[in-house]
Amino acid sequence: MDKPAWLYHGSRYKVDVLLPHTALGLPEENGDQFGVYAYEKPEMVIPFSLTIIPFENGSLSIYVDDDTGDVVIRAGIWDENAVGYIYKIPSDSFEKIDGRQWLSKEPVIPVEYTVYAGKDYIDKVHFEDEAKEYRLK
C-alpha cells in the first residue's frame, strides 16, 4: 500500500506544531510508542478532539470504536460545548504502525486545521457505568 500524501490528527488543543508524546489509554488499543499519532481518514480522529475531563477522583475511561468512530465514555465528563481541532498533516515523516495508525517520531507542522464543535458529534457519544449516572443528574 502506498503512503497517502496527507494524514489527520485530532486534538482538543489548538497548536502550531504537533509534538510527539505517548498515547493515552490502554497501550494495546492506543499504542505505547512516543510520537505523533495519525489516521488516514479525518472522521477517525474526531473522537480525539473531544474534551472529556476526568472525574474529581481522577477516573477516566473512554473507548473509541475504530470502525464506527463512536465514543463510549464509562468514567469522565464530556464538555459537549467545547471545540476540538482536526489537523491535516503531511505524511513524510510517518510510518504505519498497525492496520489504522501512523506514527511520526518527529514534531509535525500541520498544513491546515478544521475546528470541530463537540455538540455536532452528540449522536456518536454514548455513556455507560459512572458516566451514564453522572449524565442523568
CB atoms within 10 A of CB 3: 12
Pairing outcome for strands 71-75 and 125-127: parallel
Name the helix (H) or strand (E) containing 135. Answer: helix 129-136
Q: Which residues of the chain have pLDDT under 50?
A: 25-30
Q: Are 17 and 107 in contact (CB under 8 A)?
A: yes
Instruction: Give the pLDDT confidence score for residue 133 in this predicted structure.
Output: 78
Q: What is the pLDDT of residue 132?
A: 84
Q: What's the pLDDT at 87?
A: 98
Q: Which domains does the chain have, with CATH numbers?
A: 6-136 (3.20.170)
DSSP state of 38: E
Question: What per-residue confidence (pLDDT) applies to 32?
Answer: 66
Report the C-alpha gap between 61 and 30 in whole angstroms.
13
